[in-house]
Amino acid sequence: MARQYYYPQSETTVLERARNYIFRKPVPDFPKTVVIETQFGCNGGCVFCQYPQLKDVLPRGRMTNDTFEKIAKECAGRDVERFILCLDNEPLLDPSLAEKFAILKKHCPEAVRNLTTNGSLLTPEKTESLIGTKLVNEVFLSINGHSKEIYEKIMALPYEKVMQNLESFCDWLRANSDIKKNLRVRVNTVKTTLVAPEIPSMTARWAAEGFEMHVIDLDNRGAQLDMQALRAEVMRPNTSCRRLFHSMVLTRDGCALLCCVDYKREVVLGNAHEQSIYEIWNGSLATQLRKEYLARDFRHLKICATCKNNNYDTVNAQL
């Protein structure tokens, strides 16, 4: 939550300084999570994602390994906690994905190297090349539905094929228990009225494999998402967010975005081809926007002012 953060030396009174010291934490001088879109493109069509609406608008392309390594080198020794190679993309569509994870392992070996995937391309060969080699040490599976009907209605992917891949993945983990015990696997599902009745079944199914279950609030992507398919959802203003203070989001062409929901690239903080990650994170624009957010001044933060989610207990009560 944004209220937990403050800028050192910004206090005007002793009381404010004490309050910050006790209840808040300073804005870090480097992002704790780095999100990198290694290529643009996804094979899914999730109703809660802008990708289906933007797939023919934004240019396609792939980040080169040279650019990726520049970013990794700049993150080395900076206490980055996690790298997530997913934004407007299904990571397993990138043929150079293993090379990129190897670059991260080389330069930032202590960080979590996260694979977030819809599972449609998670073949035994991909599992072996990414997880069997320990290039990936955390897997988030995007699964939205227990039944074929709900799953395909939400994700627009072939249910049987994905479930077959996931069964093979579970079999592989059982056969490689030494790797499984050190691998975090989490199932992510976005909270909607469509999937809510199936969450208990999903939880039981994946808990049996030792996987975590995580229900994510649906958000309207800063009013960038066409909510027609989700018009039954009750959305409320997202009044406090830590994304600006915690994560760096980089597109496949090196643009640093305000946050991961800015699919239309409305607020660009800099470009990794022209600046270092440190320079972008601590740049005048990024600093100004964070201070304005903390002051609840949204004149330059339209995407934040219009951001809404369904963070309420109606769905949770069904779990």
Please report the pLDDT score of residue 53 as a whole number: 84
Name the band, by pLDDT with cuts 50, 70 and 90, for residue 2: low
Partners of residue 215 on adjacent β-strands: 189
Q: Among 10-24, 91-105, 166-180, which stretch is predicted with the lowest mean pLDDT?
A: 10-24
Cα gap 269→280, rounded to integer Å: 6
pLDDT above 50 (res 316): no
The DSSP H or E segment spanning 76 is none
pLDDT above 60 (res 120): yes
Cα gap 143→126, rounded to integer Å: 18
Token code pair at residue 300? 């330059």
Q: Among 90-94, 138-142, 161-165, 236-240, which stretch is predicted with the lowest mean pLDDT?
A: 236-240
Partners of residue 82 on adjacent β-strands: 33, 112
Name the band, by pLDDT with cuts 50, 70 and 90, for residue 317: very low
Q: How far apart are the first and last CA of the chain?
A: 24
Distant-in-sequence, close-in-space partners of 221: CB < 8 Å, separation ≥ 6: 50, 261, 262, 263, 307
pLDDT above 50 (res 62): yes
Coil, strand or helix: which one is 140?
strand
3-state helix, strand, coil in the chain (%, to 5): 40, 20, 45
Tell me the residue length of the chain: 319
Torsion of CA 155, 44, 163, 92, to 10 degrees: -150
Distant-in-sequence, close-in-space partners of 173: CB < 8 Å, separation ≥ 6: 179, 180, 183, 185, 209
Q: pTM of the prediction?
A: 0.92
Partners of residue 185 on adjacent β-strands: 139
Is the Cβ–Cβ distance between 159 and 149 less than 8 Å? no
Note the pLDDT tens digit of each residue in 266-281. 999 999 999 999 999 9
HSE, side-chain direction, 13 A CA sphere, residue 255: 17
pLDDT above 90 (res 136): yes
Is the Cβ–Cβ distance between 155 and 198 less than 8 Å? no
The DSSP H or E segment spanning 209 is none
Report the mean per-residue pLDDT for the chain.
92
Note the pLDDT tens digit of each residue in 39-51. 999 999 999 998 8
Distant-in-sequence, close-in-space partners of 18: CB < 8 Å, separation ≥ 6: none
Name the band, by pLDDT with cuts 50, 70 and 90, for residue 314: very low
Coil, strand or helix: which one is 167?
helix
CA 53, 202, 313, 23 dihedral sign is negative
Burial per residue of 37-65, b for 16 or more beta-carbon CB atoms within 10 angstroms, e otherwise: bbbbbbebebbbbbbeeeeeebeeebbee
